[in-house]
Structures are given as structure tokens and as C-alpha cells.
Amino acid sequence: MDVLIIATKACTHRMNLEQELDGMQIEHRVCFVENCPDLVHRFGIRHSPNLVVDNELVFRKQPTEVELHAYFDTKTKTSPRKTN
């Protein structure tokens, strides 16, 4: 599963989203909009943060913890989580 946070460098919610994903043991990458204009155009990014999973934009805002668990619980039922 490829999980990507797209956020501005000044986004105050990005760190929280990263911590929530870490707590759920979801591996992820961060791409800053300032460095990735191609992704900004591709996904029509206008706000921050955004969460892209397997090349699909799934959240255009800071999701709640409940929303994250609901999404990833159904997602991981069909594909196992990566572990170290």
C-alpha cells in the first residue's frame, strides 16, 4: 500500500496526521506542494493536508482519527499492512 501525505510546508496539521499514521503502523511518505507541482496539478490540490492511497486521493482535509481507522481498517482487510 502506497500512502502519501501531500501538504504545504506551513501546514499545521501534517505532523498530527503523520503521528496518527505512525500510531496505526501505516508506512507513509510526505510530499510538500512546494516541491511537487505535478502532484498538485494531478490531484487538484487546493488545501492542506491531503492523503493519497495507491494513487487515489482519499482525504482533502485533516481526517479525524475515526475516519482514518474506518478507511484503513477496510483497506487492510484486502491487503496486509507492511511491517518492519
Nearest to 53 by CA among 73, 35, 23: 73
Q: pLDDT tens string for the chain (84 positions)?
A: 999 999 999 999 999 999 999 999 999 999 999 999 999 999 999 999 999 999 999 999 999 999 999 999 988 765 554 444
Domain definitions of the chain by residue range: 3-78
With 0-12 / 13-18 / 19 or more C-beta atoms within 10 angstroms meaning exposed / middle / buried, residue 32 is middle
Distance between CA atoms of residues 72 and 74, nearest Å: 5
pTM for the predicted model, two decimal places? 0.86
CATH topology of domain 3-78: Glutaredoxin (3.40.30)
